[in-house]
Structures are given as structure tokens and as C-alpha cells.
A and B are shown apart, each in its own frame.
Chain A
Amino acid sequence: MSEALKFHFDVDGTDFTSAGQASVQIKKNLRQLGIAPDIIRRVSIAMYEGEINMVIHAGGGEADVTVTEDCIEISLRDHGPGIKNIEQAMQEGFSTATDTIRTLGFGAGMGLPNMKRYTDDIQITSEIGKGTDIVMRVNLK
């Protein structure tokens, strides 16, 4: 594949129960492209964590996935409250999730660490009151 393939998703911030749809869809798309199963697993786990974060912490957002010969790039954008201290947020166990969210099984503070663990590169930019931008890359070569 010489041209980059792009997938775009609007992530609904109102429905926790159906959250994760974009990631499930990407898993299917990557499978159809014949991408290796372990790569698909890494991409879809990292994207799911980012997608859920946008739903839980930011009221939804947008996701773009670009597949090129060299890598898969996942780009997430939201206009939520932003992350005050990114370094702290990246630590295992740090979470500001509410009790209601926790009863659903979220709020372990493992989402961002998983995103880092399962990708080759992660760049987070965030501005308080404006939103958060996350770009993750998984290398194919």
C-alpha cells in the first residue's frame, strides 16, 4: 500500500455503555488489511483507552487513524477540561474518575500507562479549559 489509508470517527461522549465502538471498528479494518494480530491488538488496546478517556473525562471527541507502510498513527482530539499535570496522569494508579464511573470498572488509572506501553511513541498536548490532543504511533517495521 503506497497511499496512506485514513479512518475518521466521531466519539460520542454521552454513552458509556457503547463506548469503544471506534476501536472495535478499527480492529476490524486492520484485520481486513491483513495487519499482524499482535499489532492489531496493540493498536486497538491503545486506542480503546484513549477513546474511553475522551468519553469519561472529556465529553467525547474525534479519532483519526492513519495507516501507512511504516506505521499506524492514532490521533485523538477532544475539547474537554484538559489534563492539569500530564506527568502525574501518566503514572499507574492516578485517576480522577468519579465513583459512578468506578462502579463500571473504570478508574484504575491504567489507561494512559497502557497507551504508552502498547505504542512505540505517544505525544500528549493539553491545555486547561481547551482540550487534549494525543498522537500515538505503532511501527510496522
Chain B
Amino acid sequence: MTVAELCKQAGFKAEVLPDPDREISGVYIGDLLSWVMGRANSGDVWITIMSNNNILAVASLADTACILVAEDVALESELLKTAEEKGINVLLTDKSIYDAAVTISKLI
């Protein structure tokens, strides 16, 4: 399943979607950046409540398929602009981290 398909089927909001056809291979959940760096797999949906600029470098270098910011955490327009420039998919949902993960689990 691609990130664009996931958005549609799960009802996640695509805040920026520069790479809509990126394939999803799994899910990783975490807010501690170097933990995510070390453990997330390439192609994962990364679910987090972190919203500072550093998440973009982490997503890019760990090569996750997208960042899914849960719990309706507010995202600054500056972050979204940088994500677009760097080609990083950023999704938003008002679901809890758990509900978001369960939703994805039913789809992939």
C-alpha cells in the first residue's frame, strides 16, 4: 500500500505529500529521536507526537515512508514547508497513537 492510499483509507490528513507513491512496509512508534533512528525500518510509517523540525532529518535519514503525527498535535507551517522541499510525507490525525496504529494494522 502507498502512503496516498493509506491517507485515503485511514482518513489521515495529508499535510504534505511530496512522495505519494512511496510504499509502506510497516509501522514504528516513538518520540525519542535516536531510538527511532536506531530501530525504525526503511519504509515504515513513523507515528509520533513530536513536532519540532528535527523529525524531518530523522525521517529522511531513517528513510521512513512518512511521518504520522498523532493526537492532533499542531504543526507549524515552517515545518511543512521544509518537509515539502525535502520530499518528506507528513500526515496528521486526531486519533490517539494507539488508534492510529490499530487503523493501519487493519489496512496493511
Question: Which of these binds chain A: B1-9, B12-20, B31-39, B95-103?
Answer: B31-39
Inter-subunit contact A110/B57 (CB<8 Å): no
B53:A105 contact, CB within 8 angstroms:
no
Question: Are the CB atoms of B61 and A17 closer together than 8 Å?
Answer: no
Residue picked from B33, B35, B52, most chain A C-beta under 10 Å: B33
Give a binary string over A62-88; 1 marks a CB under 8 Å from any B CB, 0 the rest: 000000000000000000000000000
B-side interface size class = 20 to 34
Expressed in whole angstroms, the Cα–Cα distance for A108 and B86 within the complex equals: 26
Query: Does the CB pair B57–A19 fall under 8 Å?
Result: yes
Measured between beta carbons, the chain B residues less than 8 angstroms from A16 are 54
Contacts A18-B53, A105-B50 given; does A44 touch B38 at CB 8 Å: no
Residues of A within 8 A of B34 (CB): 49, 52, 106, 108-111, 114
Question: How many Å from the CB of A117 to the closest CB on chain B?
Answer: 7
Question: A105 to B31, Cβ gap below 8 A?
Answer: yes
Q: Which of A5-54 contact B (CB under 8 A)?
A: 16-21, 23-24, 27, 37-38, 41, 44-45, 48-49, 52
Q: Which residues of B contact A105 (CB under 8 A)?
A: 31-33, 50, 52, 54-55
Roughly how many angstroms separate A20 CA and B54 CA in the complex, as a whole number? Answer: 8
Interface assignment of A1: CB less than 8 Å from any CB of chain B: no
Say whether A24 contacts B54, CB under 8 Å.
Answer: no
B residues in contact with A21, CB < 8 Å:
57
Can you spell out 29 A-B residue pairs with CB atoms less than 8 angstroms apart? A17-B54, A19-B57, A20-B54, A20-B57, A20-B58, A20-B61, A23-B57, A24-B60, A45-B37, A45-B61, A48-B37, A48-B57, A48-B61, A104-B54, A105-B32, A105-B50, A105-B54, A106-B32, A106-B34, A106-B54, A107-B32, A108-B34, A109-B34, A110-B32, A110-B34, A110-B35, A110-B38, A111-B34, A114-B34
